[in-house]
Each structure stands twice: as structure tokens, then as C-alpha cells.
């Protein structure tokens, strides 16, 4: 379990910030219990949407969460490796030779994204594993895009002109 960081915000700190913001806008805030229920429901919906393969745009300029699949023909079975005392690789046939990864795009964030990191919850990871283990489950997720370089026409033009 990670160490407790005294500088991180608790749920009650977030609620106090929300209540203060509501008073500034002359809006009646919801109770703490309702606030917590809203956040839990939103979190469950995020897991459902990601599990279905949809991208989610986060509020407040925090960019998007998404799941992308990549090819991987085999994996290391840690339990069998520990028992055998050496690395044992297994075929990744059960998921169509794909693995799925949850990603956070940092592009177009409104806040400084250096030093930030996203780690998916255990609940989300297990939900994705459940989908990937079903036959054809990997089809819900998009492949990671391959970036190809275009020929630099301007540079090629300058090269031809200077060398002719």
C-alpha cells in the first residue's frame, strides 16, 4: 500500500472546496452524503464506459482517458515462474494475442501535466481483464495508432536545389 501523503486532498477537502464554490455562485450545495454518492456513481460510469471501449473526456481540462490494445504474443506467468525458479512464458491465445492498456492523454491539458501520472484502479483493471479473456473481447478496443513520417517536401526540395 502506498504511503499516505499529507499534502493530498481528502474527499472532505474536495467537498469543502465545492461548497465554497457554490456559495460564491449563490447556488445551494448538495449534502456531503449526496456529493459522495455522485462521485461514486460517476466513477462507476467511467469504468463502464472504458470497459466498453469509449474514450472519456475529463472535466476541468484534464484531457481524456482511453483504452488501447497492442500486440503481444506471449506473457510471463509469475506464479509458475516463482515455483520453477526461472521465467516461464505462456502464449497469449486467450485474448487474441492482444493486451489492453489504460491511458491518459496529456495533450491539450489546461494545467501543467509534468509530474502527473495516472494509475488505473484495481476494479478497472479487473473489468478490462474480464473483457479481454472473453473470445473476441479485444475487438471492443481500438489499436494503438502507428505514426508514420511523411516525406518532408520542403527539405527534399532544398536538398535537390542545393545539390543540382
Q: Which among 149, 53, 65 has a CA at the least distance from the CA of 102?
A: 65
Calpha distance 38→32 (Å, rounded): 10
Q: Where are the domains of the chain?
A: 11-158
pLDDT recorded at residue 37 = 92
What confidence score (pLDDT) does residue 163 get?
57
pTM of the complete model: 0.65
Q: Can you say how many angstroms the Cα of residue 79 is from the centroid of all Cα atoms in its chain?
A: 26
* pLDDT tens by residue, 53-97: 888 888 777 788 888 888 888 888 899 999 999 998 888 887 778
pLDDT in tens, 28-63: 999 999 999 998 898 888 888 888 888 888 877 778
Residue 100: other Cβ atoms inside 10 A: 22
Distance CA 143, CA 137 (A): 13
Mean pLDDT (the chain, rounded): 80
Give per-residue pLDDT as tens, 117-133.
Answer: 778 888 888 888 888 88
Kind of pairing between the strands at 64-71 and 98-105: antiparallel
Amino acid at each position: 500500500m502506498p504511503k499516505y501523503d499529507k499534502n493530498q486532498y481528502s474527499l472532505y477537502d474536495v467537498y469543502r472546496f465545492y461548497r465554497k464554490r457554490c456559495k460564491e455562485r449563490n447556488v445551494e450545495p448538495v449534502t456531503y452524503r449526496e456529493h459522495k454518492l455522485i462521485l461514486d456513481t460517476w466513477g462507476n460510469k467511467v469504468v463502464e464506459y472504458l470497459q466498453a471501449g469509449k474514450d472519456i473526456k475529463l472535466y476541468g481540462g484534464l484531457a481524456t482517458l482511453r483504452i488501447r490494445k497492442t500486440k503481444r504474443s506471449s506473457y510471463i506467468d509469475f506464479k509458475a515462474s516463482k515455483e520453477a525458479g526461472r521465467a516461464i512464458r505462456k502464449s497469449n491465445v486467450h485474448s487474441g494475442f492482444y493486451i489492453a492498456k489504460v491511458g491518459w492523454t496529456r495533450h491539450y491539458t489546461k494545467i501543467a501535466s509534468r509530474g502527473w501520472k495516472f494509475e488505473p484502479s484495481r476494479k478497472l483493471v479487473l473489468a478490462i481483464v474480464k473483457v479481454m479473456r472473453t473470445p473476441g473481447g479485444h475487438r471492443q478496443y481500438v489499436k494503438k495508432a502507428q505514426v508514420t513520417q511523411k516525406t518532408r517536401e520542403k527539405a527534399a526540395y532544398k536538398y535537390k536545389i542545393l545539390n543540382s
